[in-house]
Structure 1
Amino acid sequence: MKVINLHQEENETIQLAIENNRFAQQQIYTQFSPKMLSVCRRYINDIHQAEDVMITSFMKVFTNLKNFQHKGSFEGWIRRIMVNECISYIRVQKKVKFIDDEIYFEESFNSIESQFSVEDIQFLIDSLPDGYKMVFNLYAIEGYKHHEIASQLGITEGTSKSQLSHARKMLQQQIHKLKRNEMGYKTNVD
């Protein structure tokens, strides 16, 4: 039985891509683009705009591939570029403003129940204001810490915590509305 060293294979593909080997670049794009499109889609509502940002991000990936230091996962390195590009895109397009409301509540937020589809969950996240959505995605999905979010977005840690708290509260309200609607109760939707 022959054992294939996948890490070595990935390193070889990366090295070929650094040398502008189009086949190696296509392999990287084909392997990672589905996951990276979903990352971009979490930040950008319109699928076509999300795809444009993803493609621009891959151009940055290939331009900066020589800077990948093989510390941590290659996918994580690509993901970070995607997230940064999404944030830049949103800032340019919408000029997002964050409320400097440093009052926040550290509350437990149970994971969204499995009774909802991925589309329902994405719809709920899409309904958040852009500042809330960015902080929620960075914290809850990407795993960033508040000080990292604050640094990346140019806000204070307190503002990051506040934005997350408000996002959680809005999501909980929307989940309750969805539950009531699924149980047949009529509610007023804002």
Structure 2
Amino acid sequence: MDKELRILIQKCVKQDREGQRELYTLLSPVLYGICLKYMKNKTEADDVFQDAFIILFQKIDQYNYKGSFEGWAKRIFVNEALEILRKKQRRLHVAMEDAELYNNIEDYASENSIEISQDELLEHIQQLPDNYRMVFNLYVFEGFSHKAIASKLKMAVGSSKSLLSRAKSVLRLKIDEELNKKVS
């Protein structure tokens, strides 16, 4: 960790407003992107962003300077988004189905010959039902295994696989519709 970041963290531990502002400015682009990936719209993302930054500043004294500070901060934001979605989510019963899994969004796009901008893809991801979006983001963007997702979201591993498969199917349909509009 570089010395400047360490000093900035120490300022935040002391609740120094200027240090908090600097850290906010430094991390905002990455952390806001996480909120946009998990939430349905900008308003929900804004709420998570604000709440998660409050949590970050409340818990910053718990950071032990081991590992990436950005990674530590990202975990707070992902966990806050998931907590808010969990509160909204009703219990869902899903059918189990096997699905071919993709390791990341680039594989997903290339396997399906998708020519779509990141903004367009993000918009489609935001439109997914909450449970689909949570599993999709955890698997594709955060690199969680289905076992880890199942544990984190308190569901069966098969449910995680099924939700990912359904999320990808919905995305394929939406992207196909968009591509067809572009061709027409």
TM-score range, shorter chain: 0.7 to 0.9
Structure 1: give runs of 5+ residues left out of the alignment.
Answer: 1-5, 185-190
Task: Kindly state the Cα deviation for residue 59 of structure 1 after the two structures are TM-superposed.
Answer: 0.9
Matches within 5 A, 1:145-156: 145-156=145-156
* Structure 1 match to 2:67: 72
Query: Number of aligned pairs?
Result: 178
Computing the radius of gyration from Cα coordinates, the structure with the larger value is 1
Q: Does 1:175 align with 2:181?
A: no
Shift of 1:38: 1.5
1:64-85 per-position Cα deviation (integer Å, ceiling 9, x unaligned): 1111122221111111111111
Q: 2: distance between equivalents of 1:96 and 1:130? A: 10
Gaps of 5+ in 2: none
TM-score, normalising length from structure 1?
0.85
Aligned pairs for 1:13-92 within 5 A = 13-92=8-87
Q: Which has the higher contact order (CA 8 A, sep 6+)?
A: 2
Any idea what the Cα deviations from partners look like across 1:80-126, whole Å, max 9, x if unmatched? 1111111111222x224343433222255833267322331122112
C-alpha RMSD of the superposition: 1.9
Quote the sequence identity (%). Answer: 33
Normalized per residue, the structure richer in helix is: 2
**Larger displacement relative to structure 2 (108-117 or 67-76):** 108-117
Q: Distance in 2 between matches of 1:139 and 1:179?
A: 25
Structure-1 separation of matches of 2:128 and 2:95: 17
Distance in 2 (CA, whole Å) between partners of 1:12 and 1:173 is 48
In structure 2, distance between residues paired with 1:29 and 1:152: 27
Q: TM-score, normalised by structure 2?
A: 0.87
**Contact in 1 for aligned 2:89/2:130 (Cα 8 Å):** no
Distance in 1 separating the partners of 2:11 and 2:98: 49
